[in-house]
Amino acid sequence: MVQFFNIAISIYLLVCTVSSKTINVDIARKQHPTVKQASESAHDRATSIRIKGSRLAAGDALPTFSLLNAQFSYYMPISLGTPMQNFSVVVDTGSSVLWVPDQTCGNVCVRAPDSFKSEKSSTFKQDKSTNLQAYYGSGSAHGIMGVDTLSLNGGAFKIQKQEFGLATTQSQVTNNGVDGIFGFGPDPLSIYSNTRRSTIKSLLTNLIEQNKGYSYVFGVKFEPVPSGYYSSMNGKMAIGGLPDPKWYQGDIQWIPRIKTSRAAEFWGVGVDSINVNDKPVIKRLSAIVDTGTTLIIVSNEIADAVYGSIPDAKIDPSSDLWSIPCSAVGTLPNISFVMDGKNFNLTPSQYILPKYLNTYWGARNPDLCLSFIYSTDMSYSGYDILLGQKFLENYVSIYDGDKDRIGLALNAQLSKTQSTKAKPTDSSSNSKKKGQHKLV
């Protein structure tokens, strides 16, 4: 359920440290999407989740893995098989199956750097009772299912008999140089990804069954890009227990998962209200916490209520995003999402695109500043909001399948984040050239 674009992605492995408790890998965020790509991605992401239901019937040794935000998604390295075959896959809390290209996919899996060669793995076994059938916005993947050893952090941690898909055909998923998708949604969501409509055991479920001291808990940290920069090293993931307290400030605020609608299949939560300057403008909502979404996506009804409280807010026709005169940004209100009685606040600098990035994103009017809160039709979806990366950059998210809850804690915004200074860009440059800026 991640939107993909024809931009090659290069992953830069920068630092790898090993200790007796965890393995930490720092890998780099490449760049922001253009404004057109961000809005199209948001629309397709929301549409993908909406139509799926109708279209398809902590231990001490907590492993920590790093992620890459490249354009619209965060990536992590994994290995499959014996001996190990290496892949780079999108981390997606909005889906629940792992898949990589099969060697027979060939040119159909365009730009995929790697493919799985089953005959070279002594531990691979095909599951002939079902096939891969996964849909992701405007993309999809079809093929076979099998089981094999899943290795993380270069083989330092192994999961035996992990079920995963091998794509023999795909559309628009591997186009930016990714090998596949690693779904971290709840296990029941996996029924939409295989023809047997059976629940596939996730990495977390297998982790608990095969090892002592772990729990069905994982945490994700995204880091905001510092002012004056367009990219930064800024993703981490903790699997099997609570993340390092150094990732966040204060206490984790826990929110129960929704269980009364189709959104219960996802990492969904109830939203008491959305407040503008501490005043509720709309109440009784639902949201999905989704690492596979770039923007914060809300229904048109929510957008009308929120932006109706902000003078001169309007949709920018060139981008399809809401905009505010840049001269008024300093007077904008805070926008808060109230969940389970707890207030999760966004300041103007957290929901408005910095003016220096307007040209980089491809915005046409230099006097209008764009909002990360995007609106689209959410009818018949079972939810009202997708809390994507632009929300999660500010709050570390923890997903607790044991207690059916999601935790949010204020991001510590570590000072050690490495960044790439923004460079002037020619507004006539195409997105492919922008995607080739090198990290230093």
Residue 335's DSSP bridge partners are: 276, 346
Does residue 366 form part of some domain?
yes
| Position 405 in a domain | yes
Is there a domain that residue 343 lies in?
yes
pLDDT of 175 reads 77
d(CA 130, CA 132): 7
* Total residues found in the chain within this entry: 440
Between CA 362 and CA 370 the distance in angstroms is 11
Active site residue ranges:
92, 290
Question: H or E stretch including 99?
Answer: strand 98-101
SS3 432: helix
What is the edge-to-edge ordering of all strands in the sheet holding 335-339?
A: 342-346, 335-339, 268-276, 279-289, 385-387, 296-299, 373-376
The pair phi, psi for residue 360, each rounded to 5°, is -60, -40
The answer to whether the beta carbons of residues 81 and 162 sit under 8 Å apart is no
Which SS3 state, helix, strand or coil, does residue 61 take? coil
Note whether residue 251 is domain-resident: yes
| Pairing verdict, β 98-101 and 180-183 | antiparallel
Task: Give kind and range of the element (H or E) at residue 296.
Answer: strand 296-299
Q: Are 180 and 167 in contact (CB under 8 A)?
A: yes
For residue 332, what is the domain's CATH number? 2.40.70.10
Please report how many Cα atoms fall inside a 13 Å half-sphere around the Cα of residue 307, on the Cβ side.
25
Indicate whether 347 belongs to any domain.
Answer: yes
Tell the burial category of 352 from Cβ atoms under 10 Å away from its Cβ (0-12, 13-18, 19+).
Answer: buried
Establish if 213 belongs to a structural domain. Answer: no
For residue 383, the enclosing domain spans: 245-415+423-431
The residues of the chain scoring below 70 in pLDDT are 1-38, 40-41, 43-73, 137-138, 224-226, 228-234, 260-264, 360, 362, 380, 414-440
Q: pLDDT tens, 325-365?
A: 999 999 999 999 999 999 999 999 999 988 877 776 767 88
Residue 157's pLDDT is what?
86
| Rounded CA Rg of the chain | 21
Q: Is residue 146 part of a domain?
A: no
pLDDT attached to residue 67: 55
Query: What contacts 397, CB < 8 A, 6 or more positions away?
Result: 219, 220, 289, 291, 406, 407, 408
Domain total in the chain? 1
Contact 186, 289 (CB under 8 A): no
Give 236-272 as a DSSP string.
EEEESSPPPGGGEEEEEEEEEBP-SSGGGGSSEEEEE
In this prediction the pTM is: 0.83
Residue 58 is assigned to a structural domain of this protein: no
Of all helices (H) and strands (E), which one includes residue 66? strand 64-66
